[in-house]
Structure 1
Amino acid sequence: MQRPSPHAFSDDTGPFDLIGDIHGCAGEAETLLKKLGYRLGEEGPRGKRHYSVSHPDGRKPVFLGDLVDRGPRSPDVLRLVMGMTKAGQAYTVMGNHDDKFRRWLDGHHVHLTHGIEETITQFEIEPDAFKAEVRNFLYYLPTHLILDNGELLVAHAGLAKKFHGISSGQERAFALFGDVAKQRDKYNLPVRRNWAAEYRGRRTVVHGHVAEPQVRELNNVICIDTGCCFGGGLTAMRWPERELVTVPAEQAYFHSPRWG
């Protein structure tokens, strides 16, 4: 099976709503989309929900990856995001958790850590046809997108300037995990280098992956993962307005030693 280029360039100027790591928190995603002005039709109970979505001003969500794991409703998140993306109503980039779950769906051995066990449990009752649909969707997700005539780049963990528009193993690793050192921190987690401190590009880079209580901006690099699955919030950034919109988590679903 041939994958497309891991990046795409688009003159689509939006407007967009860039949405951080959902991690299975479908209720918060529904609330955030409504707060952003989307008309959200919902059918079926939680866990088996189907959606119809539109925006009166033609705005498009851009989902920044890590759709699954940790939260209670990963299948619903995937139904929501897949439906919009396949209909051309949204863009989505690959997150490291999405790629790990895709490998599990492929039958590969993965370590049942960092929340994937919740997603696997939720998928036990899903039909094989839906699992195959999810697998194919995740397989073809790009690792980064360049939008708005080159003014905006989105990648799950961000992307150093030298990798913009490039297809390589290094680009893929950076887009999914960031700039990770070989050392481990006191929690035995990989040390993340602050690559944004060296960024000097004019193109705005918006990413998730690094959960913090507040949105962080440095050198035109903006991280909007505010830790919804840890009890923080789910955040969107309107583009080109750069307005931030956040809804609080309904509860903390997962514990991380790095979080508060």
Structure 2
Amino acid sequence: MDRFLQISSDERLFIIGDVHGCYYEFYSLIEKIFARYGEDTTIISVGDTVDRGDFNLKTIKLCFELKEKRNFYEVQSNHNLKLYRWMKGKNVRISTGMKKTVDEIMALCEDEREYLRERYINYYQSLPLYIIVNDSVVVAHAGIKDEMIGKVDEKVRDFVIFGETTGKYTEDGFPERVDWTKYRKINENSPKIVYGHVVYPEPYINNRCYGIDTGCVLGNKLTAYNPFTDEFIFERARKVYFSFD
């Protein structure tokens, strides 16, 4: 599990922000991408495909299908890691958002649950910590610092999956996060870094870093970004699926 992946791609590549069980927005956004650029377009998910939304099983199964039949990749992330640990029988705290995923799974018959459990464990274990594309783009769930690229030690793993926090909380209920992008020193050879994890109303761009979690599950929109053409494609949320109120 603790590895990074290097891939090559042409300009037909889109990176999709945190889905959080918003299956219909996820599916529709991928259909838009395929319609415009072809069904062999490479898709990378920044992770956190589960929890908080209403269609977690459908989203998981779509990821399975995409990985089997398409040029689809996903990186490790905190919500999916927690689900993986729960599937492995570890003692994890089931938050309100995670309960929606767990309830869907527990509603399955025993055989279906066991089949999903084995398949999901194998799926998550196959995911890289982060992905380097053409040596010019890095995709990591919570981001990555330049000195971490090419490494997979515990410090890198924690930053890539969980990011940095101050220990405080915002008015919206989110952990107050350190904006590591502010301190990045860039030059003409610095790769673009595309990440999710932190919710922004619009894509957040700073020092060649692109935050693309635009809070679909909170009622905003799902974002896809092409780092080679600098194009964004959006899919509006069907509804507010989750609130911290």
Normalising by structure 1, we get a TM-score of: 0.85
Match of 1:42 in 2: none
Match of 1:22 in 2: 19
Summarize the Cα distance change of 1:75–1:240 in structure 2 as closer, same or farther, 3 Å threshold.
Answer: same
Match of 2:169 in 1: 185
Summarize the Cα distance change of 1:93–1:114 in structure 2 as closer, same or farther, 3 Å threshold.
Answer: farther
User: Which of residues 213, 221, 225 is equivalent to 1:233?
Assistant: 221
Structure 1 unaligned spans of 5+: 40-54
How many percent identity over aligned positions?
A: 27
Query: In 2, distance between residues paired with 1:65 and 1:9?
Result: 17
What are the equivalent positions in structure 2 for 1:1-260 lying under 5 Å apart? 3=1, 5-38=2-35, 56=38, 58-87=40-69, 89-126=71-108, 127=112, 128-148=114-134, 150-181=135-166, 183-185=167-169, 190-201=175-186, 202-256=190-244
Question: Contact conserved, 2:11 with 2:229, CA < 8 A, in 1?
Answer: no
Q: Deviations over 1:120-145 (max 9, x none)?
A: 00111331112210121112211111
Equivalenced residues, count? 237
Query: In 2, distance between residues paired with 1:66 and 1:78?
Result: 11
Cα shift at 1:116 = 0.6
Q: Deviations over 1:99-121 (max 9, x none)?
A: 00000001111111151100000
Query: In 2, distance between residues paired with 1:235 and 1:57?
Result: 18
Query: In 1, distance between residues paired with 2:212 and 2:204?
Result: 7
Query: In 2, distance between residues paired with 1:37 and 1:246?
Result: 14
**Bigger shift: residues 72-81 or 56-65:** 56-65
Query: In 2, distance between residues paired with 1:227 and 1:189?
Result: 12
Query: In 1, distance between residues paired with 2:200 and 2:6?
Result: 29
Q: Deviations over 1:43-93 (max 9, x none)?
A: xxxxxxxxxxxx636211101100100111111111111222234521110
Task: Give the 3-state SS of the residue equivalent to 2:83 in structure 1.
Answer: helix
Give, as a single letter, the amino acid of the residue that structure 1 aligns with 2:12.
P
Structure 2 unaligned spans of 5+: none
Q: Deviations over 1:180-216 (max 9, x none)?
A: 23x2235675431110011124100000111111110
**Bigger shift: residues 152-161 or 122-131:** 122-131
Summarize the Cα distance change of 1:35–1:12 in structure 2 as closer, same or farther, 3 Å threshold.
Answer: closer
Question: Contact conserved, 1:14 with 1:60, CA < 8 A, in 2?
Answer: no
* RMSD of Structure 2 on Structure 1 (CA): 1.9
Question: Contact conserved, 2:76 with 2:124, CA < 8 A, in 1?
Answer: yes
**Bigger shift: residues 85-94 or 215-224:** 85-94
Query: In 2, distance between residues paired with 1:38 and 1:240?
Result: 18
Give, as a single letter, the amino acid of the residue that structure 2 aligns with 1:175.
V
Task: Give the 3-state SS of the residue equivalent to 2:34 in structure 1.
Answer: coil
- Higher helix fraction (1 or 2): 2
Query: In 2, distance between residues paired with 1:38 and 1:60?
Result: 13
Query: In 2, distance between residues paired with 1:23 and 1:207?
Result: 15
Give, as a single letter, the amino acid of the residue that structure 2 aligns with 1:34.
E
Normalising by structure 2, we get a TM-score of: 0.90
